[in-house]
């Protein structure tokens, strides 16, 4: 295990927080129902929506902390790792893609290249969910009455949710593949010690 494959401790804690809150948010969204004017919701739909709102605000704080950490960090948790768009980062992504084309799985973990780029895309998706969810938290009428701004933000929130779900499933699949190939990526990410 090289040092570049192990994420910084702060990143591991923030990733753990995001993994728990985002997974919870996605899963509870399957049973909740937002208030709609004139429509009755079951107690479970109402309660799950309230929980979704409050866990969502916790997710916003964790995502904000992750952004602050990523921007201020100078190690493998830096913004350059998540968004390897400079010449060196793009070359690393291309090298990883060539390895995949040759049926070789690039090493995952705390490095730029394809793993960093994929984490960056997921980070953007959950950031979009967090921003639109936080806006909805403050502008969505509790009685479900129509509000053009709330409906627009709700539609954008729902649209971004498709990317968050796709990323969530892809992330789980990539973790499984890395584990099957003998990489310690998952263990390294969730080793909070």
Confidence of residue 188 (pLDDT cuts 50, 70, 90): low
Tens digit of pLDDT for each residue in 94-119?
998 998 888 887 776 667 788 888 88
CA atoms within 13 A on the CB side of 124: 9
Provide mean pLDDT across the span 138-152. 83
Three-class SS state of 8? coil
Burial class (CB in 10 A: 0-12, 13-18, 19+), 86: exposed
Tens digit of pLDDT for each residue in 33-89?
887 777 888 899 889 999 999 999 999 999 999 999 999 987 777 888 888 888 888
Most confident of 1-5, 8-12, 145-149, 165-169: 165-169
Element housing 92 (H / E): helix 87-101
Sketch out the chain's domains with CATH numbers.
Answer: 3-190 (1.20.950.20)
What is the spatial distance between Cα 184 and Cα 34, in angstroms, rounded to a whole number? 40
Confidence of residue 3 (pLDDT cuts 50, 70, 90): very low
**DSSP result, 93-128:** HHHHHHHHHTT-PPP-SSSSHHHHHHHHHHHHHHHH
């Amino acid at each position: 295990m090289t040092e570049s494959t192990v994420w910084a401790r702060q990143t591991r804690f923030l990733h753990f927080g995001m993994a728990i809150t985002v997974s919870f948010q996605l899963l509870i969204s399957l049973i909740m129902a937002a208030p709609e004017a004139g429509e009755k919701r079951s107690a479970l739909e109402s309660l799950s929506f309230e929980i979704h709102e409050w866990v969502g605000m916790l997710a916003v704080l964790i995502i904000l902390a992750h952004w602050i950490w990523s921007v201020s960090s100078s190690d493998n948790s830096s913004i350059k790792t998540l968004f390897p768009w400079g010449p060196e980062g793009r070359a690393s992504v291309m090298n990883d893609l060539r390895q995949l084309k040759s049926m070789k799985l690039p090493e995952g973990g705390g490095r730029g290249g394809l793993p960093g780029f994929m984490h960056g895309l997921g980070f953007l998706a959950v950031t979009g969910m967090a921003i639109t969810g936080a806006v909805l938290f403050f502008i969505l009428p509790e009685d479900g009455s129509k509000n053009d701004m709330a409906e627009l933000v709700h539609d954008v929130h729902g649209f971004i949710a498709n990317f968050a779900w796709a990323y969530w499933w892809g992330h789980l699949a990539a973790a499984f593949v890395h584990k099957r190939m003998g990489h310690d990526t998952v263990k390294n990410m969730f080793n909070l010690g």
